[in-house]
Structure formats: C-alpha cells, structure tokens
Amino acid sequence: MILSASAFPIPTTHPKSGHTYHLQTAGDKLYKPDRVFDGETLHEGWAVLVKGDKIEAVGPAASLRSEGAEVIDLKGTTLLPGLIEGHSHLLLHPYNETTWDDQVLKEPRSYRIARATVHARNTLLAGFTTVRDLGTEGADYDDVGLKQAINQGIIPGPRMIVATRALIATGSYAPKGFSPDIDVPQGAEEADGHDRLIQAVRRQIGKGADVIKVYADYRWGLMSEARPTFTLDELKLVVEVAHSSGRPTVAHATTAEGMRRAILAGCETVEHGDAGTPEIFALMKQHGTALCPTLAAGDATIQYRGWKKGTEPDPERIRNKKITFKQALDAGVKICFGGDVGVFAHGDNARELEMMVEYGMKPLDALRSATSGNAAVFHLTDRGRIRPGLLADLVAVEGDPTKTIGAIRKVRLVLKGGVNPKP
C-alpha cells in the first residue's frame, strides 16, 4: 500500500506574477528506517517522504519515488510520529532539586524562564515535538511568551498547548502553611462564584490560554487530605465559558468526588485520578473523558521522600495507583500519555511511557496513546500520525519500542516540521 498526497509536484500560481510553476522538489527527503510506526500500526520496511514541513507519502520503501529526494538512511531504527506529552510544566524543575514551594516563592521569574528555555530544548531533543503544558505554577503567563519564542524559531522547543495560570478555588491551593495575617502568592489563579470565574476564564483566554485547567480538588481537608474544591455548578460554568471560545477544560482531580464533578461538568481530561473507582471509571468511559494518570510523578515524588524503588516494597500509594490504573484500563477509559514532567526532569518524558507498560499497558498501546491518541484527545488534527498531509514531526529511535518500550529513549533523529533541531 502506498499513501501519497500527490505523486507529482503540485502546480502553484504565484500570488503576484500570476505565473504557474512547480514547487521545487530538491528539498524532499526520503527517510528509510527499518520500520514505521504510523501512530496506530507497525509496518516493517516502510519509508517516509517529507516535503517541506509536511509528510508527502508513506509506504513500502520500494514503492516511494526517490528521484529528486535526498535519501536518509536510518538503518536499525523505528520511525514514529513526534511524541505528544500530555502533561508538562516547562516552568518547573524537579522537586528534589528545589521544592515546589521554593520554586514558586523564591525563584525569580527571569530565572524560571531561563530554565524553561533549556527544558523546552531537552524535551524536543528527546523526541517530544508537542507538549500540553498544564500551568505555569506561579509564573503567570510566561508560557505564552515561551511558546511565542519557540514558534518564531528563537529557541528550540516543542509545539505548545498552554494553560497559563490555571484556576483554583480560594484558599484551597498552595503554597500554604503561612501566617493567616499575610497573603502568600499562589501557584494558580484564585477565582470563585459566577462573575469572578467567568472573568478569570475569559482573562486567561484573552492572554493566550489554549486550554483551561481547573483544580477540582486539592489537599485542603482537615487532615490535609485531598477534598473537592469547586462545586459542580462552578465547574460547569468554567466549562461552558471556555467552550464558547472553542477551548476545552481539563481538571486536576485525585479524589473520586472531584473526578465525578469534573466528568459531569464536561471536563475533557482528568489529570492524576489516583482515587478513582470502577464506578468513576465507568462514568469516564460513558462521558468520553480521558484519564491522564501521571504515573511517573507519583513514582518520582515518593522516591524523593526516600523510597528505594526496586529494593524496598511498593509503598501504599504506589500499590493503590497500580490498582486504580488497572481499573481504568479494564473500564476502557481513554488513557492520555502525560507524566506531569517538571516534577521529574524535562527530557526524561519517556519515564511515563515505561511506567504505563510497567503498570499493565502493552507497549504498542502506550505508543498509540503518546501519538494518535493524544492528538485525538487534544483536537490536534495536523499531527500524531504518519500520514500524507500531516506535519513532518517525526522521531527515529534505535530498535523497536513496540517490543521494548525503553528503546524510545535511544533517539537518533528528531524532526519538527521537517527540520532537525540538532544540526
């Protein structure tokens, strides 16, 4: 089978002169790996033809025209769609380097942005060509400028979907534990009730948010346990206001009740979902809500607190997470690949893929989630698959990650819009 957008150069009319000419094919490149994972299925012996920033054709290597194209030999590799990170915080760095509180309260914004430019580069070079960045955690709208700098080619980085500040119910979030006599800056925007929530959503949209993130619960219970924050009506209002601008709402939720409200309100993804139950996962399945389980974040933070993974038994939180993740899989919930990277090192995004497999997913399903799956959940119709006409966001890794997921770390080549960011 050969899939091709156009077998021959397309005649194009020059906008000023009116002359018709044929687009140059000199820049075409034919990538020849051992196999292609197209976002859905693995194909041995396939190759991919790239023209400009788009995929021109994909199919068995022998069937693709190579005249006029530069042939790039990628022997020993698997070529995949550029990976789509579903939950990043480019403005955070690992909490074992600096606690989250200290990042929010003590680090200058200029310092955080300087770090974020390096995080963006490391993410792209690891093969993650798109990130859904879910909140600046106290750095206001700095994700908007970061995205702009990347889009203009000033710094290398992934394509970004940004949430800006994210929304929290007053008094629920963090940093907390300070004197009640002072107002401590928070890691997201406080807003409650009808008018203030509407304003906050619209303000974030106006300043550049592609997606609205709400915290449907947080650790503010009497015993510092996670408890729901916004009412169902408040969440519905956020979703309605965001939706009328064409933007999705996503919810941080770890408790069953927080998840339930987020699902019923129409949030499109639930982030974390630690204390989900079979009933809640059935509800997610019914409403088409995707789960972004962030397995790697919990794994990382518990190790920061001293757990020696591999030599000591799983702590209770890990045991529970494995159980609820399995329940979500059994219920047929759409799984969104997203590790909450930033809690652990940017560029180490593959950690979540490895954990999805460790916790019970097949490598092929984990890779589908990180490509075509996330593209569908995030409404990205121009990427996530290797198909003619889509963006030439591609990554070649040594070996076959559909057999051994760890191969995804052995990156040989990254292309973003047909361009190799590492000359």
The tokens describing 303, both together, are 């190790």
**Which of 133, 217, 299, 340 is in the footprint of Zn ion by CB under 5 A?**
340
271 or 398: CB nearest Zn ion = 271
Burial 177-193 (b: 16+ CB within 10 A, else e): eeeeeeeeebbbbebbe
CB-based contact 134:163 (threshold 8 Å): yes
Name 148's Cβ contacts closer than 8 Å, sequence gap at least 6. none
Task: Indicate whether 274 belongs to the interface with Zn ion (CB under 5 A).
Answer: no
Q: Report how far residue 387's alpha carbon sits from residue 382's, in angstroms, rounded to the nearest whole number.
A: 10
Stretch 193-252 residues interacting with Zn ion (CB under 5 A): none
28 or 340: CB nearest Zn ion = 340
Contact window for Zn ion (CB under 5 A) among 192-200, 337-345, 347-355, 380-388: 337-345
Contact window for Zn ion (CB under 5 A) among 71-79, 93-101, 231-239, 335-343: 335-343
**Local structure of 253: helix, strand or coil:** strand
Nearest residue by C-beta to Zn ion? Answer: 340
Task: Indicate whether 192 belongs to the interface with Zn ion (CB under 5 A).
Answer: no
CB-based contact 283:302 (threshold 8 Å): no
Q: Report how far residue 123's alpha carbon sits from residue 315's, in angstroms, rounded to the nearest whole number.
A: 30
CB-based contact 265:235 (threshold 8 Å): yes
CA dist 387 → 24, 40, 258, 270, 372 (Å): 21, 11, 38, 29, 11
Q: Report how far residue 363's alpha carbon sits from residue 413's, in angstroms, rounded to the nearest whole number.
A: 21
- The single residue listed with the structure tokens 């069953």 is 256
Task: Indicate whether 143 belongs to the interface with Zn ion (CB under 5 A).
Answer: no
CB of 43 to Zn ion, least distance (A): 35
CB of 374 to Zn ion, least distance (A): 15
299 or 340: CB nearest Zn ion = 340
CB of 273 to Zn ion, least distance (A): 12
CB of 391 to Zn ion, least distance (A): 26
CB of 213 to Zn ion, least distance (A): 9
CB of 300 to Zn ion, least distance (A): 12
Task: Indicate whether 38 belongs to the interface with Zn ion (CB under 5 A).
Answer: no
Tell me the site size for Zn ion, rule CB under 5 A: 1
Task: Indicate whether 137 belongs to the interface with Zn ion (CB under 5 A).
Answer: no
Binding site for Zn ion (CB under 5 A): 340
